[in-house]
Amino acid sequence: MSDPPIILGIESSCDETAAALVRGGREVLSHVVASQIELHARFGGVVPEIASRAHIEAINSVVAAALEQSGVAPAEVAAVAVTHEPGLIGSLLVGLMAAKTLAWAWSVPPIGVNHVYAHAYAAALDAGPIDYPAVALICSGGHTALYRCGGPTDLTLLGATIDDAAGEAFDKVASILRLGYPGGPAIDRIAREGDGEALRFPRTLLAGASLDFSFSGVKTAVLYHVNGLPGSSQPRRARRRPGAALKRLAAMPSAGRGVEHLSRQEVADVAASFQAAVVDVLRIKLRRAARQTGARTLVLGGGVAANRALRAAAEALARELRCTLRLPELRFCLDNAAMVAGLACHYLAAGRTDDLSLAANATVRR
Ligand code: KG4
Ligand code: ZN
């Protein structure tokens, strides 16, 4: 039997420059991520031009560090995998050029990988293989989607967000609450001090069996609440008397003044109640998808899969449905290149490699 192939993975689709070496699709030999968070924080979001420039500055040293940490020589690398879709086009191109250059120099094939599919594979890294068929819920800053997975490379889109991604809603609500960027980890942290039932923010489930998502409503409800405007949030205990709750909100002396008038406890309650609303929607849709497909394995992926409340809700759901739950290690939830190299191993095994004409695509919906 031949040795399991070692693949170099490169990821640069958004604001992380990453490289990793993975053997046999699951054994992570090295995993290097250069984050650009500090560069984008003062803008409250990723600035594409700044991101591309930072990728160019970081890519060579990140790849060199991944090779060095793995102890793997270039001659041992069987392929160079790279995220080529979807993402910021300028950012994708930096990783793609680096991958093609190395593939050409080492006489190995490049393998283009879809970033969202790679998130759906991350749970297999440094862990056992995923049992298929599975349902994968991928929630990150740019994507929120459900897939039926017949195998690591066989994904069928079941539903996706029609407006904001879940992580984007976390980031925007954190900005409303002045918690800094990126918002997901900040909300996750402060929500632990708050009461998730203090306020009832809307759960947008869309029509009956829909597996699509919408998170713009809950974000707007938080904005209205923080500004003391009558919106769609209501103090939980007043739900039986809806008119009274709205009147009380409208009468708030702080109307229009923003987050400054809230105490730390009130901010924590808003964060916890917002998080509870998002997690509820994700859990309900994941349950629907499991029921509709009959899949016995649930997979989570993407930055929001690092969220403590979501992980706990998924664990409870798996127990309820008697399904196996596959959660990626925290370091593999956020953007990384190990998931890219790992997934590419399955393309290599199936003979699905690319050549130097491999192109970058900013958007893909399938
Ligand atoms: O997967 P990722 O690194 O990048 C994209 O592909 O978009 O995800 C980043 C997103 C950000 O929106 C960030 O706020 C969110 O994941 N995130 C979290 C947590 N950690 C990161 N959201 C909620 N709770 C967390 N603990
Ligand atoms: Zn991602």
- Identify the CATH number of the domain in which residue 249 sits: 3.30.420.40
pLDDT-derived band at 206, boundaries 50, 70, 90: confident
Q: Taking the model in full, what pTM does it have?
A: 0.92
Same domain as 194, residue 68: no
**Distance of CA 97 from the midpoint of ligand 2 (Å):** 20
State if residue 167 touches ligand 1 by the CB under 6 angstroms criterion.
yes
Residue with CA closest to ligand 1 atom 6 = 140
96 Cα: distance to centroid of ligand 1 (angstroms): 23
Asked if the structure places residue 360 within a domain, the reply is: no
**Cβ-based neighbours of 139, under 8 Å, separated by 6 or more:** 165, 166, 167, 282, 300, 301, 302, 303, 304, 305, 310
pLDDT band at 207 (very low <50, low <70, confident <90, very high): confident
The answer, yes or no, to whether residue 239 has pLDDT greater than 50, is no
**Tokens 């203090």 — which residue?**
198
**Section 193-200 average pLDDT:** 97
Give the nearest ligand 1 atom to 174 CA: 14
> Can you give the pLDDT at residue 322?
97
CA of 87 to the centre of ligand 2 (A): 9
Residues 95, 168, single domain; the answer is: no
Q: Cα separations (Å) of 291 from 34, 40, 108, 205, 285?
A: 39, 40, 42, 16, 10
Q: Tokens in use for 40?
A: 């984008």
Distance 271 CA to ligand 1 centre (A): 15
Q: Is the pLDDT of residue 246 over 90?
A: no
Q: Are residues 324 and 203 in the same domain?
A: yes
Banded pLDDT at 249 (limits 50, 70, 90): very low
pLDDT of residue 121: 98
Residue 190 and residue 226 share a domain: yes
Tokens of 241: 């008397």
- Residue 250 pLDDT > 80, yes or no? no
143 and 226 part of one domain: yes
More confident residue, 94 or 237: 94
Specify the ligand 1 atom closest to the Cα of 165.
12
Q: Quick check: is 121 in a domain? A: yes
Question: Quick check: 46 pLDDT over 90?
Answer: no
**Cβ–ligand 1 contact at 87 (below 6 Å):** no
Q: Other C-beta atoms within 10 Å of 22: how many? A: 30
Asked whether the predicted pLDDT for residue 247 surpasses 70, the reply is: no
Tell me which amino acid residue 138 is: I
Tell whether 338 and 284 lie within a shared domain. Answer: no
Taking the CA of residue 115 as reference, the ligand 1 atom at the shortest distance is: 6
pLDDT at 243 over 80: no
Ligand 1 atom 13: the closest Cα is on which residue? 184
Taking the centre of ligand 1 as the mean of its atom positions, its distance from the CA of residue 336, in whole angstroms, is 12
- Confidence class for position 253, pLDDT limits 50, 70, 90: very low
- State the ligand closest to the CA atom of 215: 1
| pLDDT reading at 235 higher than 60 | no
Over range 257-265, report the average pLDDT: 88
Residue 187 shares a structural domain with residue 287:
yes
Express each pLDDT in 296-327 by its tens digit. 999 999 999 999 999 999 999 999 999 999 99
Task: Decide if 356 is inside a domain.
Answer: no
The string of pLDDT tens digits covering residues 316-356 is: 999 999 999 999 999 999 999 999 999 999 999 999 999 99
Instruction: Tell me if 274 is assigned to some domain.
Output: yes
Could you tell me where the DSSP H helices lie in 322-355?
A: 330-333, 338-349
Asked if pLDDT for residue 1 goes beyond 80, the answer is no
Phi-psi region of 115 (alpha: psi -120 to 50; beta: other; left: phi over 0): alpha
The mean pLDDT value for 143-154 works out to: 97
Residues 161 and 298 in one domain: yes
* For the CA of 119, the nearest atom of ligand 1: 1
Report the distance separating Cα 239 and Cα 233, nearest Å: 10
Q: Is residue 366 part of a domain?
A: no
Distance between CA 339 and CA 222 in Å, rounded?
Answer: 34
Mutation pick for ligand 1 pocket among 304, 311, 332, 333 (CB with most ligand atoms within 8 Å): 304
Percent of the chain with pLDDT over 90: 83
Ligand 1 contact, 86 CB (< 6 A): no
Same domain, 109 and 158: no
CB of 306 sitting under 6 A from ligand 1? yes
Same domain, 324 and 337: no
Give a yes or no: residue 354 inside a domain: no
Per-residue pLDDT at 260: 87
C-alpha to C-alpha distance for 147 and 36, rounded to whole angstroms: 29
Which comes out higher in pLDDT, residue 181 or 83?
Answer: 83
* Within-domain flag for 61: yes
Shared domain for 299 and 341, answered yes or no, is no
Q: Quick one: pLDDT band at residue 366, thresholds 50, 70, 90? A: low
pLDDT interval class at 232 (50, 70, 90)? low
Going across the sheet that includes 110-114, the strands are: 27-35, 16-23, 6-11, 77-85, 110-114
| CA-142 nearest atom, ligand 1 | 7
Provide the residue range defining the domain that includes 89: 6-127+331-349
Closest Cα to atom 14, ligand 1: which residue? 184
pLDDT value, residue 242: 44
Strands 324-326 and 77-85: unpaired
Between the CA of 105 and the centroid of ligand 1 the distance, in Å, is 35
Pure H helices in 209-306: 216-226, 242-250, 264-293
What is the share, in percent, of the chain residues with pLDDT greater than 70?
92
Give yes or no for residue 90 CB within 6 A of ligand 1.
no
Query: Which atom of ligand 1 lies at the shortest distance from residue 168's CA?
Result: 12
Mutate to test the pocket of ligand 1, among 11, 12, 170 (most ligand atoms within 8 A of CB): 170
Ligand 1 within 6 A of CB of 45? no
Query: Do 223 and 323 sit in the same domain of this protein?
Result: yes
Of the candidates 339, 364, 365, 363, the one whose C-alpha atom is nearest the C-alpha of residue 16 is 339
- Looking at residues 142-157, what average pLDDT do you find? 97
Q: How many domains does one find in the chain?
A: 2
Q: Is residue 363 part of a domain?
A: no
Contact present, 5 and 345 (Cβ < 8 Å): yes
